[in-house]
Structure 1
Amino acid sequence: MSTNPPFQLTRTLPEDATDAALRSDVLHGLTRSPKTLPPKWFYDARGSELFDEITTLEEYYPTRAEREILVARAPEIAAATGARTLVELGSGSSDKTRHLLESFADLAAYVPVDVSESALRGAARTLRAEHPGLAVHALVADFTRGLDLPATPGPRLVAFLGGTIGNLLPDERAAFLKAVRELLSPGDFLLLGTDLVKDESTLIAAYDDAAGVTAAFNKNVLSVVNRELGADFDPGAFEHVALWDPREEWIEMRLRSTVPQTVKIPALDLAVDFEAGEELRTEVSAKFRQERVREELGAAGLELTRWWTDEAGRFALSLSTPATA
């Protein structure tokens, strides 16, 4: 293998795909009842900065808990999978990847997948400096809409970290896991991060911190719609709400209108009425139990083989492989 493998970047997401998706999500989400917006629209440059700040807050345990597992268990993950290619869905800055790369002695290729080309290029520069023998095949793609992986050496380990799977509704999770299963060959693996069910007070605090950073993050979605679609949302006329739904076992983040108001969105030729107290759901964050993870993986044709948690039992990483007939 060359000591300086090339960096490759493939764009499968059309240049105008983000704008089209935003228009569709806003139109459908704000004309239904109850109103919704998908959480992916939090993450413009400002939203990403705010989320990075959230991960450092005392109340927000998931990032620390997952990192604890990765640091402690990366050698076991490497030994269990023997992976030569690491595929990371929603890779962003690839910060968590570093904990894995150090333990994969035979890793030949890293395939980061993200909608942000700038994030992929920045992460690739850093990783190639730290691991000059690693080939990086970056994909600008939306992994929730189907994915074709480049030809890289197997076995492959597909990683979906951060508990992000909890942001998908049950039907969306089922479709996503089935799509991942279709990407895997015999001997490949899925490494999945899932936040676990715990006491309500801990969960609420993680999504409604005392400093108000999560509130600013939540309201940032309104600023995104204002900038991109010419809307006139007043973020100050909404308050951040975080609720625990014990039946669904998920956190909901919402924005509650504090006054009766009409929001105009010129790019969609749309006017949206809000009553005082009406809520717009911006995120669902499901929490899991081991048996639920096992069942959902099984329904997608995957078999849970390993399960690791942090010392406090707050977060889990699971390893699964295509189930044998």
Structure 2
Amino acid sequence: MKNIVIIGAGQLGSRHLQSIKSVDVEAFNIFVIDPSRDSLSVAKERSDQINNDIHKITFATSLKEIIAQDIYFCVVATTSNIRATVVRDLLEVCNVSNLLLEKILFNTESQYAEIGTLLKDRNVNCWVNCCMRMQSVYKRLTRELSKKKFTYNVTGSNFGNITNAIHYIDHACSISKSHTFLADLQSLEPNLIESKRVGFFEINGHIKCQFPDNSVINITCFPEGTLPVLIEINTEDSRFIFKENEDKYLESSTNTAWQWEEKELNLLYQSQLTANLVLDLLNNQNISLPRYEESKDIHLSLLIPLKEHLLKSKKQIETDFPFT
């Protein structure tokens, strides 16, 4: 049986587990690793909700408890401050064929090049879980709007600006076919606010990124209020408005004489998406997610200017990028 490892069994890791457990075309040895027994307990409870018993699942608190040397697929769903260490430790004891990393990748600038070199040396296929690319409608836009000049606007209140900006910027990059951009952070607020995750921070305000073809993405996060996130994408001949909280979107174009059409968005949860990724791997299909090197460039195009912005903050920051 193929071996699959999930490192980090928290809110997100447990959803990856649910999704992988739902795969019924092949039986796996699944190892779930987390130093917190409480997190492992939650992961087991969520796993038990999936009615598929063909897999063997082992819950453990340390990588040392993985009895398999060859890993077909691994998900690292830890926070950014320990992810590089986890990847290094994993690759010291296991041969990993396919690796999925959560974002934001790492909180130290030097780790991006270091892990990139390690992945190349160990011949690991690695993707980053910027999963808008896997959603059918957003995937369609990546294809249909390819290389068209666009404006991409995201607006909402208190939605985790930096954490989620990577998702939106990554999707815009997939449309523009560019890994890099110029980030204008002048309208971000100077003060950091504490994240939901202890030890990490967020910054409200406005982010603007400009691509080589002068396409632009604007992301605005208001610090107060309950404004639902709205995504608007415009080209010269089409317009889309996405209301993810309602699972609906509006579309108009020259083909419809600019008449609006309302459609179902049909977004998939992480507890569904990872299964699709595993099935694509098993069937040797193209993986929609960005590969590590591409995502590294996207991350750093935002995070390096953010590092400079952090100098305006009065807080004592111990890492380059205190986000996850």
- TM-score normalised according to structure 2 size: 0.34
* Higher relative contact order (Cα pairs below 8 Å, separated by 6+ residues): 1
